[in-house]
Structure 1
């Protein structure tokens, strides 16, 4: 299973984090689920080797958003998607699926070579109720400030600026990018669709397995009723055997459907979500390159203006000095933008190498376990039908 693979990959924890004991709190649209997050660690920055806190989904969102904000260019593990409909219904299977997904998210963060040492992860895992309430209140205030309404004119200008940046940071910037990175970027973008389709087909597979289990159970019940028509004859025994073995196969199919959901479909969905996290890091890189390109263009235009002013007779010294300051400031912005881009570029080089190696190993493990489980499931089904054949042969001998 994916979770077992992640546990074995953790290098600073003797045991994985556990997200457990989901409890529904409240009713209706205000309802939410709280989870116990248990930590066992030997990390030197943690106050105790064991700890337990109570967190809800929005608290995990705090951790995710903080990590994205503070770690540009890094691939921050994804959270499970929000679902207003499922949240309102609060079905048991939805709560369990989210619990497992949150556990995978947390352990991916813990296995990341940089994120595992973050103050945000430490705060999430250790803060008591009072500390955590202050931290999240501060975050909510900052988030609200960032999303305050702006005037229509300001919004239009922001939209225009964003469009210009998108144009610059798109294919026009490919000439400044590394060819190998462009190849990986295009591969990642195409991989998302393929993983999404693979997850959709895995969903079809588990539904068909569940339907097969239901059909076999209904067939078994019908066979039992048919056998009862022969009150004491061999047909009653034969159909009774069919009822027993068909129910066994039906139970196997239902169990296999549930296993496919957890061990195959869920990892595929998580892989697809992770591609979006990679795309977020790539967007950070594109934005940094766009900023760098714009800073370079701005410096060039200011240098041209300075050259023209220097050739203008009778120009006041203060005007020339002001333009020279503009050039120096633009030059500093260019240096900062270049450093920002190069930092993200170097970070992503390591991140993408790590991502490709880890995902290849994880995907291979998931596919191997799926194949082994399918082979075992098929063998168990064949065993049940073989036992039915022996049951029928014994019934025939007994009735002759």
Structure 2
């Protein structure tokens, strides 16, 4: 089944067709709408209405409407990442302290659109759509939601992630040092096909970021062209008025009208490029980050698996030495045997953890590659169609100017 194109996961909040029958996901129709700025300065935030129509059996009602802010979408994203290792969780739009402080209308609307893309993609995901986290996000009342957020914030502040990260790094360093001393390379390696995909994904990020940067240049040039044409039209009108009556006044009046039409076309096209071309490219680049997070989970699981195997091997060597030592007390050997059994269980758990993520990612990467190819193809097709229509409208306006000028009495 083809994935939903970018614009199809956006609902036009200016119309009443939100609950129309034609939808991307038959189980969910989700609209993020009615942004309202709350507060001022650095403490300001925007709240949104999140409206849901669903036939999913785990939801208490077919229609729900809740109020959520960016922090709440971040809760959904972080919880899904935490509880679904190996899955590619759709990305959130980036935070911007400068734009948040300014809170321009364009920034608020672009963020609203990006948040709608995020939550709709979650609802389209074959696994994430059934998650308790999405269920809670879409239908929890204010009291229940505030309790959930308070619990999450307490857990986040209580976590000692830097300590854990440092401990993991030291353990990895120790493991690498042991491998170097013993002359052994890593005993557990990724398969070659996955490494090719991983390298491809990492290179794809740079290309998508560059494509988005160039799309930004394109829309800025289009906006500049619209402004320049508008100013030119005004100048032409002023020039024509120097002749109170006669062909020059009529000719420049025609130029003013047609140049104004083309200026309006350029302005409209530059605005459309933001949402129809630049935004999808930006989201595609953010999605690569999500893929890399899933790959990071796999890498960490492989490291844990490899370290567990190395740990078990070293404990087995120690046990063999103890058994070969004459006169050693049995309780010392028994203690080491328990250590070996515990290390063996850790290895089994680590192996299962790695294999689970590996198998999950096999399906996820296949889905990602198919969706990316389909969506990029649709994006470029729609871009070409829109550019062709825009160019034709421009040519029509200039052609009508030519006809106007030919009809000006001499």
Alignment TM-score, normalising by the size of structure 1: 0.94
Deviation at 1:16, TM superposition (A): 2.5
Paired residues of 1:209 and 1:256 also in contact (CA < 8 A): yes
**309-318 or 64-73, which moves further after superposition?**
309-318
Report the equivalent of 1:39.
52
Matched, 1:351 2:356: no
Q: How many angstroms does 1:177 deviate by?
A: 1.0
Question: Is 1:210 matched up with 2:220?
Answer: no
Q: Provide closer, same or farther for how the CA distance between residues 46 and 73 of structure 1 changes in structure 2, counting only shifts above 3 A.
A: same
- 1:75-224 alignment runs, 5 A limit: 75-147=88-160, 159-161=169-171, 176-224=189-237
* Partner-residue secondary structure (3-state), 1:22: strand
1:155/1:189 CA distance change after superposition, 3 Å:
closer
- What is residue 330 of structure 1 aligned with on the other side? 343
Q: How does 1:217-232 map to 2 (within 5 A)?
A: 217-232=230-245
- Structure 2, unpaired ranges of 5+: 12-21, 179-184
Output one character per residue of 1:39-69: Cα deviation in whole Å (capped at 9) or x when no partner.
0000000001100000000000000000000
Question: Structure 1: how far apart are the matches of 2:134 and 2:222?
Answer: 40
CA spacing shift, 1:164–1:372, aligned 2, 3 Å: farther
Match for 1:74 among 73, 78, 87?
A: 87
Pairwise CA RMSD of aligned residues? Answer: 2.0
Over 3 Å counting, the alpha-carbon distance change for 1:290 and 1:67 in structure 2 is same
Taking structure 1 as reference, are residues 272 and 208 closer, same or farther at Cα in structure 2, changes over 3 Å only?
A: same
- Does 2:387 correspond to 1:374? yes
| Pick aligned residue for 2:8 from 4, 8, 27 | 4
* Whole-angstrom CA distance in 2 between matches of 1:30 and 1:237: 56
Query: Which sits farther off after the overlay, 385-394 or 158-167?
Result: 158-167
Indicate the residue corresponding to 2:182 in structure 1. none
Contact 2:90–2:121 (CA<8 Å) still a contact in 1?
yes
Q: State TM-score, norm by structure 2.
A: 0.91
Contact kept in structure 2, 1:5 and 1:362, CA below 8 Å: no
Following superposition, the deviation at residue 259 of structure 1 comes to 0.5
Aligned-pair distance for 1:157? 5.4
1:75-122 CA distances to partner (integer Å, 9 max, x unpaired)?
000000000000011000000000000000001101100000000000
What stretches of structure 1 of length at least 5 have no aligned partner?
Answer: none
The alignment partner of 1:208 has SS state of helix
Q: Which residue of 1 aligns with 2:325?
A: 312
Could you tell me whether the CA contact under 8 Å between 2:9 and 2:117 is conserved in 1? no
* Number of residue pairs the alignment of both structures matches: 390
Residues 217-256 of structure 1 correspond to what in structure 2 (within 5 A)? 217-256=230-269
**1:336 is paired with a residue of what secondary structure?**
helix
CA distance in 2, matches of 1:331, 1:138: 36
Query: Is the contact between residue 62 and residue 136 of structure 1 (CA under 8 Å) also seen in structure 2?
Result: yes
Q: After superposition, give the CA deviation of every residue in 1:360-391 in whole Å (9 maximum; x if it has no partner).
A: 11111111000000000000000000000000
Residues 149 and 292 (structure 1 numbering): CA distance in 2 closer, same or farther, change over 3 Å? Answer: closer
> Could you say which structure has the higher helix fraction?
1
How much has 1:178 moved relative to structure 2? 1.3
Contact 2:172/2:303 (CA < 8 Å) preserved in 1? no
> 1:11: how far off?
3.9
